[in-house]
Structure 1
Amino acid sequence: MTSSVLKDESAPPARVLIVDDHPVMRDGIATQISHEPGLTVRGEADDVEPALFLARERSPDLIIVDISLKTGSGIDLIKRLRERNPTTRILVSSMYDESLYAERSLQVGAMGYVNKQNAGETLITAIRRVLDGKTYLSPEMTARILKSRIGGMTVIGKSPLESLSNREMEVLTLIGHGNTTGNIAEKLFLSVHTIDTYREKLKTKLNLSTGAELNRFAAQWVLENG
């Protein structure tokens, strides 16, 4: 004999906060959520500080976060959200390659990752799964993570980008958006010397010889990944 748990339709809808620096994308996600029973949008933000403010003021049940924000990093936002409220449920929705950012996102506190290119109904499935306290990743990413962890195995064909730290990825992205070393230092509250050090590490890890090659690589990577 089988049994099922009936959803309490009298329960208030789950409150969702959307954090994305593209207004059209925010509108699209909000519209999609508005058509779903049991879900409601409780706010939208385009950057780290507005998101932290709304998270505190609106107490959302779920926060959808993009990796790249107006001036900040989604990874940094996730860490700060979790520091303020360890029970916060966070789902990442981004154009960036899942193989590069899904595991990083989970490590800092997210509970799922959806690639915007493949979102559609997947987004709603991911939202409901995370609200249910479960992790959501694509089947391919789940298999990849399991394969890499079993017996300390290394995934064949691993991209050099996967060896970069979260901060190095952030610097690479900022370079790709055309920021100078001084701009990056100011945005990240670091010294110019420290950013120069990161640039050297990036060149080494990505097997690039010059700063110009690094700039071109970063610009192309940002172009291809949104």
Structure 2
Amino acid sequence: MDDHPVVREGIIQLLSRDKNLHVCGEAGNAYEGFEGIGKVLPDIAIINLSMPGKNGLELIRDIRCAYPQVYNLVFSMHDEMIYAERALKAGARGYLMKTEGGEKLIEAIYKIAKGEIAVSPKVSNLIISNISTKTQKTVNNPTQLLSNREFEIFQLIGKGHGIRQISEQLHISIKTVESYRSSIKEKLKIKSTEELVHYAVSWCQAEFLGMK
């Protein structure tokens, strides 16, 4: 599942070279992907976190609940040090950045097929560190304090979305968005909405440039 046809085509060509792997479908958005999974029930679904429609983390949770036999592998451009742990908590069995080569993707698929978790050594060490020292992740990255929904809204704020836009995109009330915004400010120890917007925009810009 990826919203870029070129990426999907590349993955299909890559996997087709391995006689043990069979591509049973593809999708350009979350809704098509979820519907397709219900029809073909693949062993593994390769998912990009950023797609039209539903948030990638929410999609992973939905797949895990509806089709627990289907393993999810995230293949994304987003920084693994920020998103991998969230994806695993949502139900993914692996996380691979698109900057990795095709061999790494094949390797991750085989690991997941054997029932293992497929993440980089950096992510593995981060998770172990967070388990042994729960406060460490909050010091290094305060956004880890946010729930997945709060994090999603935080990102939308950083992308310049207003309250009404967020409400319409996530299909929740304006009052609910305001409640989440208040919770975000409290968790990040931010006093004003203006300060939150500035922080969110700066964070998103840094994440886009690979500085996070």
TM-score range, shorter chain: 0.7 to 0.9
Deviation at 1:216, TM superposition (A): 3.9
Which secondary structure does the structure 2 equivalent of 1:113 belong to?
strand
Pairwise CA distance, 1:25:
2.4
2:53 aligned with 1:71, yes or no? yes
The 1:215/1:42 distance shift into structure 2, 3 A limit, reads farther
The offset of 1:220, in angstroms, is: 4.0
Give runs of aligned pairs for residues 1-226 of structure 1, distance below 5 A: 19-150=1-132, 152-155=133-136, 157-226=139-208
Kindly state the Cα deviation for residue 81 of structure 1 after the two structures are TM-superposed. Answer: 0.7
Distance 1:153 1:219, change over 3 A: closer
Could you say if the C-alpha distance between residues 66 and 221 of structure 1 is closer, same or farther in structure 2, counting changes exceeding 3 Å? farther
Question: What does residue 6 of structure 1 align with?
Answer: none
Instruction: Tell me the TM-score normalised to structure 1 length.
Output: 0.81
- Runs (4 or more) in structure 1 with deviation over 6 Å come to none
1:117 Cα deviation after fit = 2.2
Q: List gaps (5 residues or longer) in structure 2.
A: none
CA–CA distance in structure 2, aligned partners of residues 22 and 219 of structure 1: 25
Q: 1:224 to 1:21 in 2, by over 3 A?
A: farther
CA distance in 1, matches of 2:194, 2:101: 35
More helix by share: 2
Q: 1:68 to 1:220 in 2, by over 3 A?
A: farther
Q: 1:49 to 1:120 in 2, by over 3 A?
A: same
Q: Which SS does the other structure have where 2:3 is aligned? A: coil
Unpaired segments of 5 or more residues in structure 1?
A: 1-18
Secondary structure of the corresponding residue to residue 40 of structure 1: coil
- Greater strand share, 1 or 2? 1
What's the TM-score once normalised by structure 2's chain length?
Answer: 0.86
Percent identity over the alignment? 36
Look at both structures and tell me which one has the larger radius of gyration over its CA atoms: 1
Distance 1:112 1:199 in 2: 30
The answer to whether the Cα contact below 8 Å between 2:2 and 2:47 also exists between their aligned partners in 1 is yes
Root-mean-square deviation (CA), in Å?
2.1
In structure 2, what is the Cα distance between the partners aligned to 1:116 and 1:145?
Answer: 21
C-alpha distance in 2 between matches for 1:178 and 1:154: 30
Q: Deviations over 1:54-88 (max 9, x none)?
A: 00112211101122211321111111111111111
Name the CA distance, whole Å, in 2 between partners of 1:210 and 1:155. Answer: 26
How many correspondences in the alignment? Answer: 207
Deviations 1:85-144 (A, max 9, x none): 111111111122222221221122111111222344211111111112111111111112
Distance 1:130 1:117 in 2: 19
Q: Is the 8 A contact 1:78 1:90 kept in 2?
A: yes
Question: Is the 2:47–2:56 contact (alpha carbons within 8 Å) kept by the matching residues of 1?
Answer: yes
Q: CA separation in 1, counterparts of 2:192 and 2:6? A: 37
In 2, distance between residues paired with 1:45 and 1:224? 29
